[in-house]
Chain A
């Protein structure tokens, strides 16, 4: 069975790319300021954004840009899911939380000490109720994502899946999200390890 990448979004080095086209940049900012400037630039209005940690903000922003102009609203809630991965889990927030412990442990920080909270934030925003999963890899594993997501789509567990990589640790970060559908849309490309890996690597090495 063939599945398709119908949209993709990369956020790295203070530039946002949609389907390889740079759509926003703000190089003179730290990460929180950059994320806020992108939120404002794209005219997003979602008060919950402000209370998220940097990992959730980054993943949520990438998902908003990824899904803009897509047919995602045509699916039933239980037919859309997410398979995300990174290297540092929630370490960025873990460090912040442990610093609060000696004073007053903060529940608002503690809740973000799990990487799949980002998935929860994206599900709440879009009412996605399908299968989700979070995996930890040292490096983006295009082969595993291809295998796992194909399995979910081909077994009819999902009809559409947002998958990829969202990692934040202090000022280092990278998000690359793919919208994968069974249906071939305009300008869709084949959902393959080669295309996943190419998109993941190219933007960093060749285009910046």
Chain B
């Protein structure tokens, strides 16, 4: 369980997140929606220790993680796939996966698990990552994060710029991971994707979670989408 209690965070003198509280439970996909500048990506970075938390706390299974150096947080069981994928371009698919496996000393079973989730990557193990298609790069970014065997997975707009078939593939993987008990936090702007994947939706504005609802309470035409996303 990832729990965020009233954090305030930002870049230097600029405060982006204000008294923000939020939680992500195992076996659930929690989607975060909000307009540009609402603080969605900053929230992800604050969880990962990339943006300093000025007050409040972030707890993973009851243990504070906001005081840890950033490189220690993945080792506690949180994996992050940032917007824009950020692969190690000159390395092959196999090497990118290997780097993920080495980081937390996860072994061949984990490698087999991610390659079973993404069979297309198995066909391209020797291909240099920068030459993959956008969708394949996103698969590799998620696969590499899953090599850490995380308890919590943070995905920042994973379907951005992808063709519909790829979006469907990634959606299926997210749902399989949910069924396997992973707590997933998904920043997403596409209403249809949110409605298909989310168990809960948190709407952000001005650095706060302003509304939080169960998926079952949301209809495609909900006024919350209009109010917080503008669609």
Tell me if chain B binds chain A: no
